[in-house]
Amino acid sequence: MQDHYLANLLMLVVLLPLFSACLLMLSALFSVKLSKTSVTLLAVGCMALAAILVLLVGIEYSDYAGQSFSYRYANWIEIGQLRLSFGFYLDPLSLVMIAIVTGVGFLIHLFSIGFMQQDADFQRFFIYLNLFISAMLTLVLADNLLLLFLGWEGVGLCSYLLIGFWHQQPANILAANKAFIMTRIGDAALAIALLLLFLLLGSLNIQEIQLKAVQLWPLDDNASQYRLDWVSICALLLLAGAIGKSGQFPLHTWLPDAMAGPTPVSALIHAATMVTAGVYLIARFYQLFNLSPLAMLAVASIGAITLILAATAALVQSDLKRILAYSTISQIGYMFLALGAGAYSAAVFHLMTHAFFKALLFLSAGALVYSLGHQQNIFRMGGLAKKTPFICACFLAGCAALSALPFMSGYFSKDFILESLLQQQMYGFWAIAIIGAFITAFYSFRLFFLIFCGDCQLNPDKKLPTSMIIPLALLLLLSVFGGIMPAVLNVLFEGGPALLASVTNDSLALHLLTIATPISAVLLCWLIFRKHSFSERFNSSLTPRFKYLLFMGWGIDRLQEKIFTQPFIRLCQANKNDFIDRLSQLLSHISQYGHRQLQRLQNGKLRWYAASLILSAIVALLSIVLLR
């Protein structure tokens, strides 16, 4: 009975946002005009109910003492050896994820009421938003890879629709197309991994896959540590899928351009849904990744490269939302670094705290943009601390948490990652993470000082509605006091408790360095700001070309355009007449030519017909004689 109750709660959590989206879609399809109040009650109300149900799920799940819960609702596919059910799987990882998705998602919905109030497509916006949430919940709760892939693709589709929401502007359409196409590369790798795992292991159930993998491919200490075997190939393909969805190097260039959508969309993509999906995928398949040291090294290396590339690019940006986008790419890099070190609990913990402070930063940016007539250039702002004190407090808390200043939520999760790297003796990666922490604190407070300190250049022309203030206040509290790691994560991921023990026994000097790094970056940033050394132009103390290179994201976007996009366009132009079409046309021409030649035989002349018969008879007789 208890199992049925928990299973019904999980199904309702997924169906409520889907139900509201479908109802709003049908009303638009049949031209039933709904007021904005009705749309709000339906869309935001269903999200609030989903968040409450997740709370009930957590209370009910506490009776399971950290054990997993699996429920099959119905048989889905039965073809030969392939037998799939439609089922959900709940464990501490998926519980933490659905709490983030529904909790933070609800706050973003609430903020969107005020932010999108004047938009003509208010209803369409909430349709996409609720579909997005439902797809992400399906992805997180799926008990098999095919259902997970269904949610994975649903998230990709909804992100495309929301990034290009204001489709009247061509730049927004290009940004949506770019996000959709680039993430398809990772999706193709995930689809190949799905097929390969089924061929090798005969199952698509996620837990069965990992149990069979442990039995079939046990980790051999005597063998070559970084060999490319079947388990490594499968893990690397899953990693490629995660790279695409989470915006990691080299498939990260779509994420800064994805800022074309409304600001609540950016908050939802970065904090609660799409970019966290890749981290979740690797954490979900942690047993499979543990069998491949090569894949683990690849995960850590991708994270290290990405966090440095994105953090340095954020140093010189002038667009408020692009700075936050690069910071997301960098912070997801930290999560990948933790995953590669085997510190899965630390990665998910940082995912949780990042959801709090990144949602706060994006919604604070949205509130600022809303108040300033959609101005996003930080060099056009300044001195707004007195004019927008509440937004200033929210930004300060968000930047402090992002910088991992002591006692903020981001400090505890990032410190956990650094300690994990030291425990695994990954000193090179630890050094990169420390450098990244310094750069992160520097660009975070560069952003804060330029917007809220100095001379005032703009005056706010709008007052924030209550629907925008409440979620900002709640996220501010979570960003400050949300640095408590769910203890159940250590039970799920093997080696968690031992890792915590090692954290408490580390040297005092390393702890002090971890604390001093972001503080020194903030002080240096303040000194540079006081000297008015920050400039939008490329003529600062930095080499202008190097600064421009950073501004362009190390030129990776242009490099990809030259290597892949331009050659493909040239190939299409060269083949605009389609050589395959020409082959089919050639067959047509040969047929017509044969027809014209045969047509000559029917000319109406009796002597020609008689000669033809005689000639044919002679050829026939000769053939008979020669073939005997």
Asked if residue 499 has pLDDT above 90, the reply is no
Asked if residue 178 has pLDDT above 80, the reply is yes
* Mean pLDDT of the region 241-262: 93
Helix, strand, or coil (residue 77): strand
Q: Is residue 104 domain-shared with residue 183, that is, in the same domain?
A: yes
Rg (CA), the chain: 30
Helix, strand, or coil (residue 591): helix
Q: Give the C-alpha separation, 415 to 423, whole Å.
A: 12
Q: Is residue 597 domain-shared with residue 489, that is, in the same domain?
A: no
Task: Band the pLDDT of 500: cuts 50, 70, 90.
Answer: very low
- Tell me which DSSP letter residue 332 carries: H
* Mean pLDDT of the region 589-595: 83
Contact 565, 254 (CB under 8 A): no
Q: Which helix (H) or strand (E) holds 85?
A: strand 82-90
Q: Is residue 617 domain-shared with residue 477, that is, in the same domain?
A: no
Q: Give the C-alpha separation, 628 to 624, whole Å.
A: 6
- Domain holding 190, by residue range, is 1-213+250-277
Half-sphere exposure of 354 (CA within 13 A, CB side): 29
157-166, 233-242, 583-592: range with lowest mean pLDDT: 583-592
Describe the crossing of helices 389-402 and 427-452 by its angle, rounded to 10 degrees.
Answer: 170
* Mean pLDDT of the region 519-543: 80
> Is residue 173, in this structure, part of any structural domain at all?
yes
Asked if residue 339 has pLDDT above 60, the reply is yes
Q: Give the C-alpha separation, 237 to 322, whole Å.
A: 29
Q: Is residue 203 domain-shared with residue 351, that is, in the same domain?
A: no
The reported pLDDT for the residue numbered 496 is 45
Final residue before a domain boundary, out of 506, 536, 566: 536
Asked if residue 507 has pLDDT above 60, the reply is yes
Q: pLDDT tens digits for 107-138?
A: 999 999 999 998 889 999 999 999 999 999 99
Q: Is residue 523 domain-shared with residue 618, that is, in the same domain?
A: no
Q: Is residue 57 domain-shared with residue 199, that is, in the same domain?
A: yes
Q: pLDDT tens digits for 142-151?
A: 999 999 999 9
Asked if residue 543 has pLDDT above 90, the reply is no
Contact 279, 97 (CB under 8 A): no
Contact 155, 139 (CB under 8 A): yes
The reported pLDDT for the residue numbered 538 is 55
Task: Band the pLDDT of 541: cuts 50, 70, 90.
Answer: low
**Neighbour-count burial for 547-568, b at 16+ CB within 10 Å, e otherwise:** bebbbebbebbeeeeeeeeeee
Q: Three-class SS string for 89-141? A: EECHHHHHHHHHHHHHHHHHHHHHHHHCCCCCCHHHHHHHHHHHHHHHHHHHH
> Is residue 229, in this structure, part of any structural domain at all?
no
Task: Band the pLDDT of 569: cuts 50, 70, 90.
Answer: confident
Q: Is residue 84 domain-shared with residue 208, that is, in the same domain?
A: yes
Number of domains into which the chain is organized: 3
Q: Is residue 209 domain-shared with residue 99, that is, in the same domain?
A: yes
> Is residue 230, in this structure, part of any structural domain at all?
no
> Is residue 614, in this structure, part of any structural domain at all?
yes
Q: Is residue 265 domain-shared with residue 400, that is, in the same domain?
A: no
The reported pLDDT for the residue numbered 108 is 96
Task: Band the pLDDT of 502: cuts 50, 70, 90.
Answer: very low
The reported pLDDT for the residue numbered 584 is 76
Q: Is residue 470 domain-shared with residue 582, that is, in the same domain?
A: no
Q: Give the C-alpha separation, 457 to 276, whole Å.
A: 36
* Mean pLDDT of the region 18-30: 93
Q: Is residue 51 domain-shared with residue 192, that is, in the same domain?
A: yes
* 461 φ, ψ (degrees, to nearest 5): -115, 5
* Mean pLDDT of the region 459-471: 90
Q: Is residue 613 domain-shared with residue 484, that is, in the same domain?
A: no
Which carries the bigger pLDDT value, residue 626 or residue 251? 251
Q: Give the C-alpha separation, 408 to 398, whole Å.
A: 9
* 96 φ, ψ (degrees, to nearest 5): -60, -40
The reported pLDDT for the residue numbered 621 is 84
Q: pLDDT tens digits for 403-461?
A: 999 999 999 999 999 999 998 989 999 999 999 999 999 999 999 999 998 888 888 88
Mean pLDDT for all residues in the chain: 89
> Is residue 131, in this structure, part of any structural domain at all?
yes
Task: Band the pLDDT of 497: cuts 50, 70, 90.
Answer: very low
Write the CB contacts of 255 (distance below 8 Å, at least 6 apart in sequence).
179, 247, 275, 325, 328, 329
Token output for 418: 């650094």
Asked if residue 93 has pLDDT above 50, the reply is yes
Asked if residue 592 has pLDDT above 80, the reply is yes
Token output for 41: 């009650």
The most distant pair of C-alpha atoms in the chain lies apart, rounded to whole Å, by 114
> Is residue 296, in this structure, part of any structural domain at all?
no
